[in-house]
Amino acid sequence: MRFQKNFAAIKSFLLEKYKLKLSTEDRGKIEYIARTFWMEGLDLRFSSIGRGNASSYPSLEEIFLETDRQGRQQSYLSSEELFQWLKKFQAENRLIPIVGDFAGLHAIRDFGRFLKVNGLRLSAFYTSNVEFYLFGRPEWHRYVTNLQSLPIADDAVFIRAYFPTYGRPHPLNMPGHRSTSLVKPLPAFLADYDAGQIRSYWDVVKP
């Protein structure tokens, strides 16, 4: 079966090339993810375990076909140029997921040390909606301290997600979209934080 052949290649890649020590639980979770992509294909949707909310989110096909505010398709499958760029990006092992706590003592700071050792600077930070759950708690200040420890490019940006259930509709929300994606300058945020201008979560996500 094609899935079994492809999954065997995935395991070989992880175990033989990268020498990862995967537990039985690790292997089971990797197979679950790979099988889900294989079975659902373009109908794949995000869902939270136990919440039955998949219908609230777009399918993978809808995401690929989505356009920006100027009506242009921007997914990596929308052009040969973008596909080849991402293929090269992945082949050069530049896409490295990091699991950690935004307000913890290790993940972000260790990543920052890696960037500095290799003469690199952060250009984009995807937060999703994590900051909403940190704001107003002691973890918020630890998170910002972690950000301040990073070598940041002058044009670095946040990529954020805002949901209207957080208090008010966002003026940049597109009709029919459940959330609003935001691209905001990272250095300006840190400057506002140092100046005491971040007094509410709305100050983080406002236009």
pLDDT tens readout for residues 55-65: 778 899 999 99
Q: How confident is the model at residue 54 (pLDDT cuts 50, 70, 90)?
A: low
Of the given ranges (16-25, 50-59, 143-152), which has the lowest mean pLDDT?
50-59
Q: What is the pLDDT of residues 62-99, one digit of tens each?
A: 999 999 889 999 999 999 999 999 999 988 877 778 88
Q: Which residues pair with 183 in a beta bridge?
A: 159
Task: Report the distance separating Cα 125 and Cα 160, nearest Å.
Answer: 9
Q: Write the CB contacts of 89 (distance below 8 Å, at least 6 apart in sequence).
A: 95
Task: Read off the pTM.
Answer: 0.82
Q: Write the CB contacts of 81 (distance below 8 Å, at least 6 apart in sequence).
A: none
Could you list the beta-strand ranges (E) of the chain: 122-128, 152-162, 180-185
Query: Which 3 state secondary structure label does DSSP give 117?
Result: helix
Residues listed for the chain: 207
pLDDT at 48: 77
| Pairing mode of beta strands 180-185, 152-162 | antiparallel
Residue with tokens 């052009």: 79
Residue bearing the bigger pLDDT, 186 or 20 = 186
